[in-house]
Amino acid sequence: MVGDGLTISREEEEEEEERSLAPLPSSGRHHRRKSSASAASRDGFPNPAHVRHLSRTETERLASSQRELADSNSRIVFIGDPGGSDPRFEIPRNSIRTAKYSPITFLPRNLFEQFRRLSYIYFLAIVILNQLPQLAVFGRGASALPLAFVLLVTAVKDAYEDWRRHRSDRIENNRAASVLDPQSGRFLSKRWKEARVGEVLKVLANESIPCDMVLLATSDPTGVAYIQTINLDGESNLKTRYAKQETMARPPGEDHPVDSAGVIRCEQPNRNIYGFLGNMEVDGKRVSLGPANIILRGCELKNTAWVIGVAVYTGSETKVMLNSSGAPSKRSRLETRMNRETLLLSAILIALCSVVAICNGIWLGNHSDDLELAQFFRKRDYSDGDDKKYNYSGIGTQVFFAFLMSVIVFQIMIPISLYISMELVRLGQAYFMVRDANLYDESSNSRFQCRALNINEDLGQIKYVFSDKTGTLTENKMEFQCASIRGVDYSGGRVSSRDNGEAHYILAAGKHILKPKMSVKTDPELVRLLKNKGDTEQGKRAREFFLALACCNTIVPLVVDTSDPKQKLIDYQGESPDEQALAYAAASYGFVLIERTSGHIIIDILGNRQRYDVLGLHEFDSDRKRMSVIVCGPDKTINLFVKGADNSMFGIIQNKVDLSMIDATKANLHAYSSLGLRTLVVGMRELSRKEFEEWQSAYENANTSLMGRGKLLRAVASNVERELHILGASGIEDKLQEGVPEAIESMRQAGIKVWVLTGDKQETAISIGFSCKLLTEAMTQIVINCNSEESCRNKLQDAVAMYRKFAVISPDPFENALTGTGSTKVSMALIIDGISLVYILKTKLEEELFKVATACDVVLCCRVAPLQKAGIVSLIKSRTEDMTLAIGDGANDVSMIQTADVGIGISGQEGRQAVMASDFAMGQFRFLVPLLLVHGHWNYQRMAYMILYNFYRNAVFVFILFWYVLYTAYTLTTAITEWSTVLYSIVYTALPTIVVGVLDKDLSRKTLMKYPQLYRSGQRDERYNLKLFTLTMMDAVWQSVATFYIPYLAYRQSTVDGSSLGDLWILAVVILVNIHLATDVFRWYWITHVAVWGCIVATLICVIIIDCIWTLPGYWAIFKIMGTGLFWLCLLGVIVAGMLPHFSVKALKEYLMPSDIQIAREMDKFRRMNAATMEIQMNRFSTLQL
Partner 1 sequence: MNNSAAGTSSGSGDVSAPRRNSNRPKYSRFTQQELPACKPILTPRWVISVFTLIGVIFIPIGIAALRASTNVVEIVKRYDADCIPGNNTKAYKVAYIQDKNIDKTCNITLRVPKDMDPPIYVYYQLDNFYQNHRRYVKSRNDAQLKDRGKANDTSGCDPEDASNGSPIVPCGLIAWSLFNDTYNFSIGNQNLTVNKRGISWKSDRDHKFGNDVFPRNFQNGTLIGGASLDENTPLSQQEDLIVWMRTAALPTFRKSYGKIEQNLRENDTITVTIKNNYNTYSFSGKKKLVLSTSSWLGGKNDFIGITYLTIGGLCFFLAIAFTGVYLVKPRKLGDPSYLSWNRNPSGR
510: left (phi over 0), alpha (psi -120 to 50) or beta: left
d(CA 140, CA 202): 62
Would you say 114 or 703 has its CB closer to partner 1?
A: 114
Question: 955-971 burial, b for 16+ CB within 10 Å, e for fewer?
Answer: bbbbbbbbbbbeeebbb
d(CA 584, CA 590): 10
Q: How far is the CB of 1126 from partner 1 (least distance, A)?
A: 5
The residue among 723, 549, 573, 720 whose CA lies nearest residue 643 is 549
d(CA 242, CA 113): 45
Question: Which residues carry a binding-site annotation for Mg(2+)?
Answer: 468, 470, 889, 893
Would you say 253 or 1047 has its CB closer to partner 1?
A: 1047
Q: How far is the CB of 53 from partner 1 (least distance, A)?
A: 23
d(CA 969, CA 367): 10
Would you say 70 or 1152 has its CB closer to partner 1?
A: 1152
The residue among 252, 187, 261, 248 whose CA lies nearest residue 220 is 248
Would you say 117 or 389 has its CB closer to partner 1?
A: 389
Q: At what angle do helices 834-841 and 789-809 cross, to 10 degrees?
A: 90
Three-state secondary structure readout of 35-79: HHCCHHHHHCCCCCHHHHHHHHHHHHHHHHHHCCCCHHHEEEEEC
The residue among 885, 866, 896, 906 whose CA lies nearest residue 476 is 906
Three-state secondary structure readout of 1104-1153: HHHCCCCCCCCCCHHHHHHCCHHHHHHHHHHHHHHHHHHHHHHHHHHHHC
Q: At what angle do helices 106-114 and 140-173 cross, to 10 degrees?
A: 120
| Strand ranges across the sheet with 902-906 | 449-450, 920-922, 902-906, 883-888, 462-468, 753-757, 858-862, 828-833, 780-784
Bridge-partner residues for 472, per DSSP?
none
| Strand ranges in 657-797 using DSSP code E only, listed in sequence order | 677-687, 725-736, 753-757, 780-784
Q: How far is the CB of 1167 from partner 1 (least distance, A)?
A: 8
Residue 369 is classified by DSSP as T
Cβ atoms of 591 and 546 closer than 8 Å: yes
Would you say 71 or 386 has its CB closer to partner 1?
A: 386
Q: How far is the CB of 1170 from partner 1 (least distance, A)?
A: 5
The residue among 64, 45, 48, 65 whose CA lies nearest residue 7 is 48
Would you say 50 or 1010 has its CB closer to partner 1?
A: 1010
Would you say 367 or 793 has its CB closer to partner 1?
A: 367
Q: Is 81 a catalytic residue?
A: no
Question: Which residues carry a binding-site annotation?
Answer: 468-470, 579, 620, 643, 678, 758-760, 863, 869, 889, 892-893
Chain centroid to CA 548: how far? 39
Would you say 352 or 520 has its CB closer to partner 1?
A: 352
Q: How far is the CB of 164 from partner 1 (least distance, A)?
A: 8
Q: How far is the CB of 275 from partner 1 (least distance, A)?
A: 18
* Cα R_g (the chain), whole angstroms: 36
Cα–Cα distances in angstroms (integers) from residue 596 to residues 512, 559, 573, in the given order: 19, 11, 11
Q: How far is the CB of 980 from partner 1 (least distance, A)?
A: 15
From 81, 212, 436, 468, the catalytic residue: 468
Q: How far is the CB of 107 from partner 1 (least distance, A)?
A: 21
Would you say 336 or 1055 has its CB closer to partner 1?
A: 1055
Question: 498-518 burial, b for 16+ CB within 10 Å, e for fewer?
Answer: eeebeeebebeeeebbbbbbb
Would you say 285 or 1165 has its CB closer to partner 1?
A: 1165
Cα–Cα distances in angstroms (integers) from residue 368 to residues 92, 320, 365, in the given order: 73, 73, 5
Q: How far is the CB of 945 from partner 1 (least distance, A)?
A: 16
Question: Which residues carry a binding-site annotation for ATP?
Answer: 468-470, 579, 620, 643, 678, 758-760, 863, 869, 892-893
Would you say 112 or 1119 has its CB closer to partner 1?
A: 1119
d(CA 38, CA 27): 13
Q: How far is the CB of 1001 from partner 1 (least distance, A)?
A: 7
β pairing state of 567-573 and 512-516:
parallel
The residue among 941, 937, 950, 943 whose CA lies nearest residue 1077 is 950
Would you say 667 or 1148 has its CB closer to partner 1?
A: 1148
d(CA 883, CA 876): 9
Question: Would you call 927 exposed, middle or buried from its count of C-beta atoms within 10 A (0-12, 13-18, 19+)?
Answer: buried
Q: How far is the CB of 1100 from partner 1 (least distance, A)?
A: 18
Measured in degrees and rounded to the nearest 5, phi and psi for residue 381 equal -110, 110
d(CA 279, CA 287): 5
| Cα atoms found within 13 Å of the Cα of residue 250, Cβ hemisphere only | 11
Question: 772-793 burial, b for 16+ CB within 10 Å, e for fewer?
Answer: bebbeeebeebbbbbeebeebb
Q: How far is the CB of 172 from partner 1 (least distance, A)?
A: 5
Residues serving a catalytic function are 468
